[in-house]
Structure 1
Amino acid sequence: MLSLCDASNNTPIKSIKSQDGDIIDCIHIYDQPAFDHPLLKNHTILMRPSFHPNSELLNPHSQENTNSITQSWQLSGKCPDNTIPILRNQNARKTKKYVMKQNETVSQSSSDDDMKSLDPYTHEYAIAYVQGDKYHGAKATINVWQPYVQNRIEFSLSQIWVVGGHDSTINTVEAGWTVDPSVFGDNKPRLFTYWTRDHYGSTGCYNMFCPGFVQTSTKIALGANISPVSTYHGPQFDISLYIVKDEQFAVWWLQLGNDVVGYWPTSLFTNLADSASTIQWGGEVINLKPNGQHTTTQMGSGHFPEEGFKGASYFKNLQVVDVSKTLRSPGTLYTFAANSNYYRILLEKSSDAWGNYFYYGGPGRNANCP
């Protein structure tokens, strides 16, 4: 069993009780966990990127989201200036690597045989990816669901992976939404980040459960509940996530919609100190084969991608940032689904409204594949 930790040992300036039961502590921005990292002891917080975050890299007038998503705690108050909101969670695991994640991410040297070596009995995926170039960021819009998770040690997530290196040297920065009872204690979809510099070995963690990610936003709480969520054949709600490297400041920024959330300093990394070699978008579940059967934990909406809009989950407006800081089409996309009997991915033809996009997901164990 991994040790448990609080998000911060500092006394909050203000605490906010959300209607959904979350407690958000407003911590002074310089008392956040990031500064417990030895590399960040004398770090001066960067409040904004060296380029305007609403530049051509991310259009603030985009009409991507037709329905508004909030974090429930925001309805109950706000944090004062010079503080950041941190989810209070006494039961949070420090890391998601409590089951060995062999070859989780696609490395630049991966072949089709390497992709097939992803362990089908632990973590299962339905992803699109690009690799082989130097990438300085990625972007996508993801609709949010509340998939069923069979037990308290499995999870279902949808995210962007920004990856550098291969094998044991893999570095990642990641962001998306997850339903993960082992980390958050319930089955609600929650915003999350993750990072590692040694392929989920001894470094990295979710959100701010360990030092590393530096938060700047007073409005966004990592790990907080996202609401409302998409419904089957009903309204769809999505979030736009954007990760970009700022060479001048030597950090990887995270942006949610038009809000800059914070950053990972490149000093945390080896390969990602320069650039990423792979970008991945898609879903992941953990399958522990309860009672010797495939899990019924759902990915995305819990429906196969062939059901399309309002039935399946989607990623749209997939883009990458190249070394010239240009946000562009990812080019040729490759796909991988660990076990298409349970989870699948379906690339669609690029459109003016949705750009490059795909549907993905599935129900896990089902009547056709027990």
Structure 2
Amino acid sequence: MTEEGLELEQQLNHLNKPFIKSIQNKDGRFYDCVHLYKQTALDHPNLLKHKIQMRPTSLPKGFSTSSGGSSHVKPSEIEQLEGKGCPIGTVPIKRITKEDLIRTRSLSNVHPLTVGSPGAHVSHFFLSVLFGRHLFTKTIGDFAYFGAQAVIVTNNPMLYSNTQSSETMISVSNGVPNELNSIDVGWTVNPTLYGDNKTRLYTRWTIDGYRNTGCYNTMCPGFVQTSSNITLDATFWPTSTYNGHQFGSKFSVFLDNSTRNWWFAVDDNLVGYWPGSIFTCLYSFASTIVWGGATRSPVGLIYKPEMGSGHFPSEGFRKASFFKQLQLIPLDEGYVFRDLRGTQEIEQVTDKPNCYGVGGITDFEDGKYSFYFGGPGGICGY
């Protein structure tokens, strides 16, 4: 066996844990039902004696188990494992293959929301003090947040190459760039990560701006899975169609103010959490919240991928992609999800306006604070 082959085998043995049961889903992927305390998350040096929390100590008021389905936006179903999922006391972890490891070696370690990063383009709403550039030195004040949520319409943006990706996310973060603590949750089309062009759930985290720490999903120790039937690469179906039905799911990420763990939920599914002990800046609060989209393309590829629905915000409902019911948990206002307020500093960021855009806050149906975003990509320049 070659040195490279031996290295891959060692990685596989480390990532793929002993399991009680194995489940194969419809697209042929294998999910191993791993004992709660055998999952990869607990290999993190800060979690060797971690006691797993099966549910938040308390749920924030306003935490909704609704996808926001209405006459205008229908619930997008998230794939669940066949049957009843994994047995009690175990969690489903995708079995990593050599092909997975080889593909993901090319994943960039630069956060896609980093404006000016080669090949990465963004369109999003940016909420923070001082527009989120230098927040690590700030004391807890009016610009500290304990969570965010929104209904995100699900799309299946087109890519021009299997080396590209397009994603839509909520991001909570704190810290200067080199010490950035960040959690992202949302959906993505990412053939490098998943091996196909389906719209899939994803998460991502770091404590140093992705210089040395962090990863997608469970590709490294950190995220503690608690759901027995939702996986971090689950597909969303159906997705919205141009001038047709619109589908969406509610994404929530919030801090348990007792344990300091950051919980992640999709609709009524509590999927799991990032323990507070793996963070530095984000242990106490988030200073910046982002709702929006990002694309990534290797430098040299002329055509950039679609973002969202592939249409500009100006086209409006049934055509442009959107976020609906933007809410957050501000400090000193109780443990409550609240709508955005006009007094909060919100910056709109679009680095390639000829290819992507973000519209202003609008009162969309019962959605209150909502906005359109996205675009066709194409020739954007570098």
Tell me the TM-score normalised to structure 1 length.
Answer: 0.87
Instruction: Using the TM superposition, give the Cα deviation of residue 76 of structure 1 relative to its aligned residue in structure 2, in angstroms.
Output: 5.6
1:269 aligned to 2:266? no
1:101 aligned to 2:106? no
**Deviation readout 1:230-278 (Å, 9 max, x if unpaired):** 1112222111111111121121111111111111111111110111110
The match for 2:378 is: 365
Amino acid at match of 1:185: G
Instruction: Using the TM superposition, give the Cα deviation of residue 96 of structure 1 relative to its aligned residue in structure 2, in angstroms.
Output: 8.9
The match for 1:79 is: 86
Give 5+ residue unaligned stretches, structure 2.
Answer: 130-142
1:238 aligned to 2:248? yes
The match for 2:184 is: 174
Instruction: Using the TM superposition, give the Cα deviation of residue 330 of structure 1 relative to its aligned residue in structure 2, in angstroms.
Output: 2.6
% identity of equivalent residues: 36
Q: How far apart in 1 are the matches of 2:147 and 2:249?
A: 17
The match for 2:266 is: 256
Amino acid at match of 2:355: Y
1:156 maps to which of 161, 166, 170: 166
Partner SS state of residue 360, structure 2:
strand
> How many correspondences in the alignment?
352
Q: How far apart in 2 are the matches of 1:58 and 1:201?
A: 33
Q: How far apart in 2 are the matches of 1:179 and 1:322?
A: 31
The match for 1:130 is: 127
- Greater shift after overlay, 59-68 or 310-319? 59-68
**Deviation readout 1:74-101 (Å, 9 max, x if unpaired):** 3465221111112224244597984463
Q: How far apart in 1 are the matches of 2:184 and 2:161?
A: 24
Partner SS state of residue 276, structure 1:
coil
The match for 2:316 is: 308
1:335 aligned to 2:345? no
1:319 aligned to 2:305? no
1:43 aligned to 2:50? yes
Asked whether the equivalents of residues 161 and 279 of structure 1 are also in contact (C-alpha less than 8 Å), the reply is yes
Instruction: Using the TM superposition, give the Cα deviation of residue 18 of structure 1 relative to its aligned residue in structure 2, in angstroms.
Output: 1.6
1:218/1:176 Cα in 2 relative to 1: closer, same or farther (>3 Å)?
Answer: same
1:288 aligned to 2:298? yes
Instruction: Using the TM superposition, give the Cα deviation of residue 119 of structure 1 relative to its aligned residue in structure 2, in angstroms.
Output: 1.3
Instruction: Report the RMSD for the aligned CA atoms in angstroms.
Output: 2.6
Partner SS state of residue 287, structure 2:
strand
Give 5+ residue unaligned stretches, structure 1.
Answer: 106-117
The match for 1:114 is: none
Asked whether the equivalents of residues 207 and 279 of structure 2 are also in contact (C-alpha less than 8 Å), the reply is yes
Q: How far apart in 1 are the matches of 2:233 and 2:66?
A: 27
Q: How far apart in 1 are the matches of 2:192 and 2:112?
A: 22
